[in-house]
Amino acid sequence: MTQPKSYFQKYRKEWESLPEFKGWLKPHAGSDIRATCMYCKTDLYAKLSDIKKHAATQKHIEKAKPYNQASQPKLTFVAKKTDTLKQAEATIALAISDHCSILSCDHIGLACKAAFPDSTIAQNFRMHRTKCTEMINGVLAPYFIQRLVADIGSNKYSLLLDESTDVSVSKYLGIVVRYFSEGKGHVVDTFLGLLELEGGDAKSIAKAVLSFLHQSGLEKENLVLIRCVCHSLQLAVSSASKTTLPRSVEFLVRETYNWFSISPEINPCVGETLKQNKNPDDMAKLMVLLGYDPETTDRIINQWRSVHFQRWEETANTTGFWFEVKKHRDAAGLNPFEELASAAVAVLSLPHSNAPSST
């Protein structure tokens, strides 16, 4: 007489939700016909009868006592509101980045605890230089760059670049942006970023600047550039004059310029430069340098000839005047001086300096 074929029960996931198996019954990692007891660390066949027999053994009962919820004391936790604490940390980090050294953050937290013993936020304040640095770089800087880019918008802007000249291993490039803020109503000069350069040549600087503009979301088409090689030619001539011309000739040329630049009374032609802003021919040359096409240049000059027929309020301040012109609307809701105002704002966004020029 043949014996009946043995039957192997497969593990069933719903057993884990039963009260007598909950918390300790898990499937076996290598077989679907076996189960694992997490309390006893043993394996058994995935038969319901075998599992119940194992649960009734003395070994399992002893192993399950530490996990019995009825015998464990309940731990009471009070949820702390961390929003105000995070705001305090962000405020301190912002103040340190603007006014202090980051190393001072190691002592400010201790000073706050000593000065405000009755403040819960001060007692829970824990921020040192490492956390402060990460908060500035990872939280505050992206937020303020996003606000700055939104304020620039589609307006024209220019960049002021300054490469580090120290002898350290890493080379850095500081970037300052100059633009006309429509929200504030004046020209803004502010720090934009600090880049690490791969090299000190022109290609490395241009590559780093273009990559940074792309990451920041600034349109490079709105960057105001004056494309000329005058400065390069001046450097070449200056370098060549040191080796070919006598030093007395270079001194004579330099001192001649310095003498005639002192007062417009020395040379009557110098006084004529004060009237260049009223000369359309000079404006046409400026528009060409800014990259405007001839048709747009003609419209800007025509708008320039008629802008003084309108009565304006802000005539004592250049920036305020062009801001008023940019916001002007006629009866039809149009701005007849829009292109002129945009060109003027682009010129105001260019970097300038009142420092004396050096040869």
Q: Residue 264: is its pLDDT beyond 70? A: no
Across the chain, what does the average pLDDT equal? 78
Q: Residue 248: is its pLDDT beyond 60? A: no
More confident position, 81 or 292: 292
Compute the average pLDDT of residues 9-15.
83
Q: What percentage of the chain reaches a pLDDT higher than 70?
A: 74
At residue 178, the pLDDT reads: 92
Least confident range of 131-140, 274-283, 317-326, 344-353: 274-283
Q: Residue 4: is its pLDDT beyond 70? A: no
Instruction: Tell the residue number behind the tokens 């700055």, with chain if given.
Output: 148
Quick one: which of 64, 122, 50, 56 has its CA closest to 89? Answer: 122
Q: Residue 274: is its pLDDT beyond 60? A: no
On whether the CB atoms of residues 314 and 329 are closer than 8 A, the answer is no
Measured CA to CA, the distance from residue 287 to residue 280 in angstroms comes to 10
Q: Is the pTM of this model over 0.95?
A: no
At residue 276, the pLDDT reads: 46
How many Cβ atoms sit within 10 Å of the Cβ of residue 122?
17
Render pLDDT for 81-118 as a digit per residue (tens, 0 to 9).
Answer: 568 888 888 899 999 988 888 888 888 888 988 888 88
3-state SS, one letter per residue, for 167-233: CCCCEEEEEEEEEEECCCCEEEEEEEEEEEECCCCHHHHHHHHHHHHHHHCCCHHHECCCCCCHHHH
Residue 335: partners with Cβ closer than 8 Å, 6 or more residues away? 326, 327, 328, 329, 341
Measured CA to CA, the distance from residue 175 to residue 157 in angstroms comes to 12
Read off the pLDDT band of 163 (50, 70, 90): confident
Measured CA to CA, the distance from residue 135 to residue 105 in angstroms comes to 12
More confident position, 223 or 357: 223
